[in-house]
A and B are shown apart, each in its own frame.
Chain A
Amino acid sequence: MSEKVCALLLRLYPAEFREAYGDEAIQLIHDRARDEQGMWAKLRLWIDLAADLATVLPRAHRRAAPVRATVSPQSIGVAPRFHVLQPATPRLSAVAYGGILSAVAFGALFLWFGYSRNYRELHTWQGPTKHDLIALSFSGRHSNVRRESEMPLAAVANPERKIEVSGRPAHTLLSSWQGGSEPSGFHAMGLLPGGPQSSVEPQSAQPNVQAATAAMIEASSSHDVVMLGEVHGDKQEYQWLNQLVMNREFSRRVDDIVVEFGNSLYQKSVDRYIGGQEVPIEQVEKAWRNMIGAVGPPSPLYGEFYAAVRAANMKNRGKHQMRIVLGDPYGDWEKIKDAEDLGPYLAHRDEWYAQVVKDEVLAKKHHALLIMGSGHFLRRNGPALVESTIRAAGADPYLIVMGTNAVGGYDNLDQRFDSWPIPAIIALAGNWVGDLPAMPVVSGGTAPATPLKLSAAADALLYVGSRDSLVEVRMPGAELDGTPYGNEIARRLAIQMGHPAHLVFGQTEVPQFPRPQPPPQPTSGARPPLLPMPKSIHDPLPPRPPSQ
């Protein structure tokens, strides 16, 4: 019976459809009616058929509608002219012709803009202005602290001040613990008397600006280890990194990605997660939410990066797989009750990271990308600890640091960067980019220029956008405000700073390099005491517990 009804229903479809698939459709309904016994099953079959009919019928008739000829409103001469509209795919020749025309037009525009920009460059570059020098003088007095330690130091200066949620895994408190009355950091390199030097020579050789992904693949091919000095929580930087790991060429060349934003205690969970296994995300995210080196909540970008590597591995299942190796010390925040418990882990962060690279990368003859804050990797007076350690172990790493177009003071932005593709990687040897002062470039102009040139500080520069376009992504307040994790972050801050801290929740996306502000003046007039240095920073790392 159902077959007869279906045959009638089929008559509702366009003739073309009936001729092509009518028999098969009846066969299908026949099969369903045979296999789906019982009243409910039969009812469901008819409901399905009705729904299918209602959905498909109008579309089928639209598709089968005859092509109409239209009459042009123009009648020229004695005979009317007709245009017949027929749906058809564009001819290949038409597509090619359009493509060539577009390429010529875009090429002409590009050349025109390129020449205009070059013309401006030669006539506007005059080195730092008076305004820049004032800004640099100001920053020389007040911003001689590594950005990473701004927050805890500000809190020490005014214990009543509320702590703004940074989202930036601010680095170490050791600069305040170890630096005496003047915290170490950028200041340790010394300011130039009378302000920064303009080291840019317009005649310097032009740089080879490469698309970042291609340059990174090239570097990964020529070097077993590529070090990337990152800017914490930068949106554009991590957008590119997430794309990079999905690139088949990159994922084929790189075995390990060693990250600062991952507590080694959770390597086992991360291995399973990155390998594509089903792991509760609450277990995996401990790796980046329980970092030892972070002050304040971590940026959500880190979790997204882990997910991107996992997705890349799943995409390439059965082929070469990447691994995320966790380079943060294995301190367990559940067992850290005070600064003395924390001290050994903070004191040995770079040593531990280097040890992880030696054990997990070099000993296995792997290719790796190392990601850590620029401050850890910059060559100031030669290679920093991580690089010197792995060089001693036989590695020959290539160092890329992220930087921007701030080349002097905060307001001294170099327009020559504007013509570069984004993101780009620029080798620094023998060109005017390498001659730029390193500190403003890597700090977005928030740190003063020093004699250190970019070419001495790194092998290449990663450029993901102009300083004022860069965005820092912070953890949403909803994940912290009154939540157990928010309370835990407040507890950690109290340990790190030596007094209670209150979290204030702001926007999740803020400028990466805001204009430096003078620190609040202490109400008492005297400089507040610095956080006492725990004795335990001289202790070796405790034995490593089993990985979770």
Chain B
Amino acid sequence: MPKRKLDPLPAAAFQILLALTDGDRHGYSIMRQVEEQTSGKMRLGPGTLYSSIQAMLEAELIEEATRRGDVEPGHERRRYYRLTAAGRKRARSEAERLADVLRVARARKILRGDYV
């Protein structure tokens, strides 16, 4: 099966990487974290979430974390994911790229009137 392209990094994949920067998370936790860090603008559906996870696993940007010992009853289906060093590096470079874009936008005064 062809690998899904992650260059450029899709917005959903970038948000998932950001969600994993502060620790291992399972799918639902990732979805909630993404919703929180985008102020509710992005709610990942199961298809988007897991196809992104699959692509990033293949690209070794994330990896499956070992199952935690304190699995709650009914949560056996959960798998936890964690950021790899490559994933952290990729998230950083994507953030820098966006910062550059933002800098240009600010300089072009597209964001006038707001705090910058």
Chain A residues near B (Cβ < 8 Å): 6, 13, 16-17, 20-21, 23-29, 31-32, 48-49, 51-53, 55-57, 59-60, 63-64, 87, 89, 278-281, 300, 303-304, 307-308, 310-311, 314-315
Residues of A within 8 A of B43 (CB): 48
Any A CB within 8 A of the CB of B68 = no
Given A21-B53, A24-B77, A278-B115, are A13 and B107 neighbors across the interface (CB < 8 Å)? no
Q: What's the Cα separation between A6 and B45 when bound, in Å?
A: 12
Total of A-B residue pairs, C-beta within 8 Å: 95
Question: Are A56 and B54 within 8 A (Cβ)?
Answer: no
Say which residue of A63, A281, A304 sits within 8 Å of B116 (CB atoms): A281
Question: Are A315 and B45 within 8 A (Cβ)?
Answer: no
Any A CB within 8 A of the CB of B48 = yes
Contacting A at CB under 8 A, from B28-81, are: 28, 31, 43-51, 53-54, 75, 77-79
Question: Are B112 and A56 within 8 A (Cβ)?
Answer: no
Residues of B within 8 A of A56 (CB): 45, 47-48, 51
CB proximity of B39 to chain A, nearest CB, Å: 16
Question: Are A28 and B99 within 8 A (Cβ)?
Answer: no
Question: Are B1 and A307 within 8 A (Cβ)?
Answer: no
Question: Are B47 and A24 within 8 A (Cβ)?
Answer: no
Q: What's the Cα separation between A59 and B55 when bound, in Å?
A: 12
What 1/0 mask marks residues of chain B from 74 to 114 whose CB sits below 8 Å from any chain A CB?
01011100000000000000001001101110110000100
The 8 closest A-B CB pairs, nearest first, are A52-B45, A56-B47, A25-B46, A21-B50, A304-B107, A23-B77, A87-B2, A27-B77
Question: Are A24 and B31 within 8 A (Cβ)?
Answer: no
Question: Are B4 and A311 within 8 A (Cβ)?
Answer: no
Q: What's the Cα separation between A9 and B109 when bound, in Å?
A: 46
Given A52-B45, A307-B106, are A315 and B96 neighbors across the interface (CB < 8 Å)? yes
Contacting A at CB under 8 A, from B11-43, are: 26-28, 31, 43
Q: What's the Cα separation between A325 and B64 when bound, in Å?
A: 49
Residues of A within 8 A of B3 (CB): 87, 89
Q: What's the Cα separation between A20 and B54 when bound, in Å?
A: 9
CB proximity of B21 to chain A, nearest CB, Å: 15
Interface size class of B (residues with CB under 8 A): 20 to 34
Given A280-B115, A300-B107, A304-B107, are A59 and B51 neighbors across the interface (CB < 8 Å)? yes
Residues of A within 8 A of B116 (CB): 278-281
Question: Are A52 and B31 within 8 A (Cβ)?
Answer: no
Q: What's the Cα separation between A53 and B107 when bound, in Å?
A: 39
Q: What's the Cα separation between A55 and B102 when bound, in Å?
A: 28
- Of the A-B pairs whose beta carbons lie under 8 Å apart in the complex, a sample of 16, sorted by A's number, is A17-B50, A25-B27, A25-B47, A27-B28, A27-B78, A28-B28, A48-B43, A48-B45, A49-B46, A52-B45, A53-B45, A55-B47, A63-B1, A64-B1, A89-B3, A307-B107
Given A21-B53, A28-B28, A32-B28, are A60 and B99 neighbors across the interface (CB < 8 Å)? no
Given A27-B28, A27-B77, are A303 and B46 neighbors across the interface (CB < 8 Å)? no
Residue of B nearest to A14 (CB): B1
Given A28-B49, A51-B45, A315-B96, are A281 and B106 neighbors across the interface (CB < 8 Å)? yes
Given A63-B4, A279-B115, A281-B116, are A311 and B51 neighbors across the interface (CB < 8 Å)? no
Q: What's the Cα separation between A25 and B47 when bound, in Å?
A: 8
CB proximity of A257 to chain B, nearest CB, Å: 16
Question: Are B96 and A281 within 8 A (Cβ)?
Answer: no
Residues of B within 8 A of A300 (CB): 107
CB proximity of B93 to chain A, nearest CB, Å: 11
Residues of B within 8 A of A304 (CB): 103-104, 107
Question: Are B78 and A24 within 8 A (Cβ)?
Answer: yes
Residues of B within 8 A of A60 (CB): 47, 51
Q: What's the Cα separation between A76 and B99 when bound, in Å?
A: 57
Q: What's the Cα separation between A21 and B47 when bound, in Å?
A: 9
